[in-house]
Amino acid sequence: MPDFLPSLDSLAAQQAAQRLDRLTKPPGSLGRLERLAVELAAIQGQALPQVSPPAMLVFAADHGVAAEGVSAFPAEVTAQMVANFAAGGAAINVFARQHGAHLEVIDVGVATPLPEGTADSPRLVDERVRLGTANMLHEDAMSRDEALAAMVAGRRAAERAAAAGCRSLIVGEMGIANTTASSALLAALTGASVEGLVGPGTGLDAAGLAHKRDVIERTLAARRPDPADPLEALARVGGLEIAAMAGAFLGGATHRLPLIVDGFIATVAALVACRLRPSLRDYLLFGHRSREPGHEGALAALEARPLVDFELRLGEGTGAALAFPLLDSACRLLVEMATFDDIGIDPAP
């Protein structure tokens, strides 16, 4: 993983801010779009930033803890959804087509064999580190080396996106039971109570939720993840796709790509990456506020304010994709709007 990340470009930020003040509008009247434009200039090191085309990286893996009945859906759905992403039929595929995104599905550890023909899809990348994590209630989800290998697979995906000319990164996931792993990891890293952050995921009822909470609490008591060692915590109670997302964020930042964080799971992955490299925080933009209750605590741990609140609770990168047009609009305003000079008006009569 990178030892350091490039720092924000304050000169590019200043140039963008000055241009915004010369555009044909009252100063500051485009609100948060103006702050976004300046932030994007600082990240990319360009007075006129550009976020299009985006890359959409969907990392998929299975979770041994699914055997405890912590999801409303069976573990086989991970592989079925990977086939759906590969065929272009999932929600994130719709947004990818809408925004001309480069979409990749990266299998870092799907346990069930993929449906016939899936492996032939040009969208699918095989980076399997192991066939799903172990059941973290009984043993560590994976080894430290496996967590690192999954992070490196994530970094490689970010590097492919940069090499393909993508100008921003949307990072999503698929992995049945990954809200359980993310909840355990978030509780471990922040010390927050499991009760306050556990949620229904794909749609557990009240009894299912109580059971999920009990499984997470017993897991934390058995695994004792150390918040001072984020990689170890990731290995003990995390997931392969969560590790890969953390690696993709770090890899994207080394290429100065604005990183659009999705919902609960992506935000927990971003938190892990920030604990490893705190300066990563400068590169993160938060797409949306998920309905999953734990998202609030994950956002608070990163002092993050999401762009949109549309009551999504899906994952895959959909909440980040939904916010993408806001970033794109911010960039286009900087490039395409006329200045007061252009139209011959003195803005300060």
Ligand X SMILES: Cc1cc2ncn([C@H]3O[C@H](COP(=O)(O)O)[C@@H](O)[C@H]3O)c2cc1C
Ligand Y SMILES: O=C(O)c1cccnc1
The mark string for 56-95 relative to ligand X (x by CB under 6 A, - otherwise) is ---------------xxx---x---x--------------
For ligand X, the closer CB: 49 or 315:
315
Diameter of the chain by CA atoms? 73
Across the chain, the runs of DSSP E, i.e. the strands, are: 54-61, 102-109, 124-126, 168-174, 259-261, 284-286
CA neighbor of 293 nearest in space, from 233, 173, 235, 212: 212
153 contact, one of ligand Y, ligand X, none, CB 5-8 Å limit per kind: none
For ligand X, the closer CB: 151 or 245:
245
For the CA atoms of 213, 215, 221, 227, the dihedral, rounded to the nearest 10 degrees, stands at: -60
* Cα–Cα dist 330/282, whole Å: 18
For ligand X, the closer CB: 20 or 198:
198
177 contact, one of ligand Y, ligand X, none, CB 5-8 Å limit per kind: ligand X
178 binds ligand X (CB under 6 A): yes
176 contact, one of ligand X, ligand Y, none, CB 5-8 Å limit per kind: ligand X
315 binds ligand Y (CB under 6 A): yes
The mark string for 316-345 relative to ligand X (x by CB under 6 A, - otherwise) is x-----------------------------
Residue 316 appears among annotated catalytic residues: yes
Beta-carbon contacts of residue 246 (< 8 Å; ≥ 6 apart): 151, 154, 234, 269, 270, 272, 273, 276
* Cα–Cα dist 304/312, whole Å: 17
Across 198-344, the runs of DSSP E, i.e. the strands, are: 259-261, 284-286
For ligand X, the closer CB: 78 or 254:
78
183 binds ligand Y (CB under 6 A): no
For ligand X, the closer CB: 83 or 158:
83
Other beta carbons within 10 Å of 265: 34
From 225, 239, 258, 315, residue interacting with ligand X (rule: CB under 6 A): 315
Structure tokens at 163: 């090499």
From 53, 54, 109, 175, residue interacting with ligand X (rule: CB under 6 A): 175
Minimum Å gap between C-beta 319 and ligand Y is 7
Q: Which residues of 55-88 are buried (b: 16+ CB within 10 A; e: fewer)?
A: bbbbbbbbbbbbebebbeeebbbbbbbbbbbbee
Other beta carbons within 10 Å of 31: 8
From 101, 176, 194, 242, residue interacting with ligand X (rule: CB under 6 A): 176
Yes or no: say if 288 and 192 are a contact pair by the CB < 8 Å rule: no
For ligand X, the closer CB: 43 or 77:
77
From 62, 140, 262, 328, residue interacting with ligand Y (rule: CB under 6 A): 262
From 201, 238, 247, 287, residue interacting with ligand Y (rule: CB under 6 A): 201
Minimum Å gap between C-beta 277 and ligand Y is 22
CA neighbor of 237 nearest in space, from 156, 183, 316: 183
How many residues of this chain interact with ligand X, rule: CB under 6 A? 18
Minimum Å gap between C-beta 245 and ligand X is 11
Beta-carbon contacts of residue 219 (< 8 Å; ≥ 6 apart): 65, 136, 137, 184, 237
* Cα–Cα dist 87/117, whole Å: 10
From 75, 265, 299, 330, residue interacting with ligand Y (rule: CB under 6 A): 265
106 DSSP β-pair partners: 59, 125
264 binds ligand Y (CB under 6 A): yes
Residue numbers at the binding site for ligand X (CB under 6 A): 71-73, 77, 81, 173-180, 201-202, 314-316
Q: Which residues are catalytic?
A: 316
Residue numbers at the binding site for ligand Y (CB under 6 A): 179, 201-202, 262-265, 290, 292, 295, 313-315
